[in-house]
Amino acid sequence: MRRVLILGGTAEARALAASLVDVHVVSSLAGRVSDPRLPVGEVHIGGFGGAEGLAVWLRDHRIDRFVDATHPFAETMSASAARASELAGVPLLALRRPGWSEEDGDDWQRVPSLAAAVGVLPSGARVFLTTGRRSIPVFAARTDAWFLARSVDPPEPPVPSNVQVLLARGPYTVDGERALIRGHRLEVLVTKDSGGTLTRAKLVAARETGLPVVMVDRPRLPENVRTTDDVEAAAAWAQG
């Protein structure tokens, strides 16, 4: 039986695992979320020890093909996957959901990095920060601004005094996002171009309330990696 490894944790990774038939599927989760949504099939939680460790794991477990279906901003893992594919000689496919596109009525400013996003925030702004708990210290250095930082798990303490943490997990609703924006008198939204529908409601609410958006662009995938944004196409490739 063909053996397929899925590097995931995303909704696309779970959908891919569920769609594969007559295949032994192993899904790998990084273990950064305390209570992850588990896919069907065998699950591996934790790292592999870099690209070299992943290459050894692929060979030892007789993996025929593997899919990088990690978060679009999991830059280090994607680089390790590309290198491990070369070392182990195991074909790799990157599955990435399409990014978001600006629509009529949106007020977006695209930036290339989190550091760039920090730099464009106006002084005194009340910021809706949805870039993940690990980014909070980067933004909190802007002591002239206030942040409502939403994340699935709590950030590492101490939490700076100019940050209020909101623990929540999507999917979110437009009504709920609109209420957050108005209730906290938020003036700008900072988010990553993650794509998908799970957290898109915040962009609709921002458009409806006239909230400007700072959109952090995705890092590029490693060169020469085959890519698709379609789960069915990824399943067909994985099954050969």
CA–CA separation, 6 vs 57, rounded Å?
Answer: 13
- The residue type at 177: E
Instruction: Scan for tokens 């979320």, then name that residue.
Output: 33
Instruction: Tell me if 62 is assigned to some domain.
Output: yes
Query: In the prediction, which pLDDT does 36 show?
Result: 76
Range of the domain at 206: 108-216
Same-domain status, 81 and 16? yes
CA–CA separation, 214 vs 121, rounded Å?
Answer: 8
Same-domain status, 36 and 91? yes
Same-domain status, 208 and 228? no
Same-domain status, 72 and 161? no
Alpha carbons within 13 A on the beta-carbon side of 144: 7
Whether residue 214 contacts residue 117, with contact meaning beta carbons closer than 8 Å, is answered with: yes
Instruction: Tell me if 168 is assigned to some domain.
Output: yes
Query: In the prediction, which pLDDT does 84 show?
Result: 98
Instruction: Scan for tokens 């295949």, then name that residue.
Output: 23
Same-domain status, 161 and 84? no
Same-domain status, 190 and 130? yes
Same-domain status, 132 and 193? yes
Instruction: Scan for tokens 């182990």, then name that residue.
Output: 88
Tokens representing 132 are 């993940």
Query: In the prediction, which pLDDT does 137 show?
Result: 94
Query: In the prediction, which pLDDT does 34 show?
Result: 63
pLDDT tens track, the chain, 240 positions: 899 999 998 899 999 999 999 999 999 998 666 667 788 889 999 889 999 999 999 999 999 999 999 999 999 999 999 999 999 999 999 999 999 999 999 999 999 999 999 999 999 999 999 999 999 999 999 999 999 999 999 999 999 999 999 999 989 999 999 999 999 999 999 999 999 888 999 999 999 999 999 999 999 999 889 999 999 999 999 998
Tokens representing 95 are 């599955």
Query: In the prediction, which pLDDT does 189 show?
Result: 98
Model confidence pTM above 0.85: yes
Instruction: Tell me if 103 is assigned to some domain.
Output: no
Number of Cβ within 10 Å of residue 135's Cβ equals 21
Instruction: Tell me if 156 is assigned to some domain.
Output: yes
Same-domain status, 212 and 224? no
123 DSSP assignment: T
CA–CA separation, 106 vs 207, rounded Å?
Answer: 5
Domains: count for the chain: 2
Instruction: Tell me if 19 is assigned to some domain.
Output: yes
Same-domain status, 114 and 24? no
Comparing CA positions, the residue from 155, 107, 103 lying closest to residue 129 is 155
Same-domain status, 140 and 161? yes
Same-domain status, 139 and 80? no
Instruction: Tell me if 200 is assigned to some domain.
Output: yes
Tokens representing 230 are 């379609």
Same-domain status, 116 and 43? no
Tokens representing 154 are 């709590």
How far, CA to CA in Å, does 150 sit from each of 39, 172, 189, 204?
24, 12, 11, 17
Using CB atoms within 10 Å of the CB of residue 224, give its burial: 0 to 12 exposed, 13 to 18 middle, 19+ buried: exposed
Query: In the prediction, which pLDDT does 90 show?
Result: 98
Q: Domain of 208: which CATH number?
A: 3.40.50.720
The per-type count for the chain, helices as H runs and strands as E runs, is 8, 12
Query: In the prediction, which pLDDT does 40 show?
Result: 86
Query: In the prediction, which pLDDT does 148 show?
Result: 98
Instruction: Tell me if 148 is assigned to some domain.
Output: yes
Instruction: Tell me if 225 is assigned to some domain.
Output: yes
